[in-house]
Chains A and B, each alone.
Chain A
Amino acid sequence: MNLWAWILLACAISIATKLLGFLVPARLLDNPRMLRVAGSLTIGLLAALTAVNTFASGQGLVVDARVAALLAAGVALWLKAPFLVVVVVGALAAGVARLLGAA
């Protein structure tokens, strides 16, 4: 399957997931265990994506300019900067680190 097919399948699953919440009886989803799994999945996946985007290069682990982006974004978030500022700070940090010779 090409990328388009996977994109449309992802979209269909997203719409179906949202709709399912409206259609199934509330008692099936409305329990603390389901809520907790939905929440922990969200946290775990976002943490995994952060880690992979920072350190992975194919199947290798590298420390390069992206680590500067992670640290700078962390400082910006700690200072309660809005999301878009955090993203720009991350880009600038990686750019500056490369100018200074980081891979």
Chain B
Amino acid sequence: MVFLQSPAVRVGLSVAVATGLYGLSFGALSVAAGLDLLQTMALSLLLFSGGSQFAFIGVVAGGGSALSAMSAAALLGIRNGVYGMQINVLLRPSRWRKLSMAHLTIDESVATATGQTNSDEQRRGFWAAGIGVFVLWNLFTLVGALAGNAMGDPARWGLDGAAVAAFLGLLWPRVRSREPAAIAVVCAVVTLLAVPLVPPGAPILIAAVVAAVLGLSGLGRATEGLEPDVEPYPPASTGSSS
């Protein structure tokens, strides 16, 4: 099995297992937010971008309008367009191949591909992580949604606490230096100031505008915030952390 001997494939598959498991929490939180099983699966199958999916149900759970939920998901998905451009330049797919590659263009598949130097390995890494995450993410979304349906009252099980933890967990790997931390703090404060003043859901869109302005005027690395949730190639331990 040449395929499984490829380092990129092995990295891609391990990333797929770790990321796929997030699907459990997405499925459970989605039904807790009031979406039914089919709606939850539609998001995982068709929208297929973890951050955007969590954003959609996070806004709905907070009483926000579906328009705000959709807008938050769309804005959070803009980075996938940038990834698509990068993969297109890197792998030069044929016209028909672009369709399937586009759907699999997410943090993890792009990070796995761009971490390789050989172009065959880049291609294998992209497909292994992309297909692997897609299959496992959907499988675990289904399991999570079924479990969530069986659990009943979300507050009783601390599922609202799970949502808080999930968003902090998605944010965490992207805040690695002072500038992203400043963007995160400013946006969180702006959001909370806006909560009493505008309808639920809208504060998140106001924060998005602030984030875009901060990004345009920023001085930090251009790739800030574009880190994957599961780092395919963790830096060697330097002994400086924890």
Which A residues lie at the B interface, using CB under 8 A? 1, 3-4, 6-15, 17-24, 26, 29-30, 32-56, 58-61, 65-66, 68-70, 72-74, 76-80, 82-84, 86-98
Contact B195 A52 (CB under 8 A): yes
Chain A residues, Cβ within 8 Å of B242: 78-80
Chain B residues, Cβ within 8 Å of A79: 242
Which parts of B131-154 form the interface with A (CB within 8 Å)? none
Known: A39-B174, A73-B165, A94-B164. 16 other contacts (CB 8 A): A10-B73, A15-B103, A17-B80, A22-B85, A24-B85, A37-B212, A40-B180, A41-B211, A46-B51, A46-B174, A53-B160, A56-B62, A84-B25, A87-B162, A90-B158, A94-B162
- State which size class the interface on B falls in: 35 or more
Q: What CA separation (Å) do A68 and B78 show in the bound complex?
A: 32
Q: Which secondary structure dominates where chain A touches chain B?
A: helix
Closest 6 CB pairs of A and B: A21-B84, A90-B165, A44-B211, A94-B161, A39-B225, A40-B215
> A-B pairs with CB below 8 Å: how many?
351
10 A–B contacts from the bound complex (CB under 8 Å): A3-B60, A14-B47, A14-B74, A43-B174, A44-B210, A55-B195, A59-B196, A69-B162, A78-B242, A87-B162
Chain B residues, Cβ within 8 Å of A77: 168-169, 172
Q: A15-B46, A61-B192 are in contact. Are A41 and B78 (CB under 8 A)?
A: yes
Q: What CA separation (Å) do A70 and B77 show in the bound complex?
A: 25
Q: What CA separation (Å) do A48 and B59 show in the bound complex?
A: 10
Contact A44 B63 (CB under 8 A): no
Q: What CA separation (Å) do A55 and B192 show in the bound complex?
A: 8
A76 to chain B, nearest CB (A): 8
Chain A residues, Cβ within 8 Å of B180: 39-40, 43
Name A82's contact: one of B18, B56, B223 (CB within 8 Å).
B18
A7 to chain B, nearest CB (A): 5
Contact A14 B46 (CB under 8 A): yes
Contact A86 B169 (CB under 8 A): yes
**In the complex, B113 has a CB within 8 A of chain A:** no
Contact B55 A49 (CB under 8 A): yes
Contact B208 A15 (CB under 8 A): no
**In the complex, B11 has a CB within 8 A of chain A:** no
**In the complex, B129 has a CB within 8 A of chain A:** no
Chain A residues, Cβ within 8 Å of B172: 77
Q: Which of chain B's residues has its CB closest to A68's CB?
A: B161
Chain B residues, Cβ within 8 Å of A76: 165
Contact A22 B199 (CB under 8 A): no
Name A90's contact: one of B66, B161, B185, B191 (CB within 8 Å).
B161
Q: Which of A9, A47, A54, A68 has the most C-beta atoms of chain B within 10 angstroms of its own C-beta?
A: A47
Chain B residues, Cβ within 8 Å of A9: 70
Q: What CA separation (Å) do A54 and B67 show in the bound complex?
A: 21
Contact A39 B80 (CB under 8 A): no
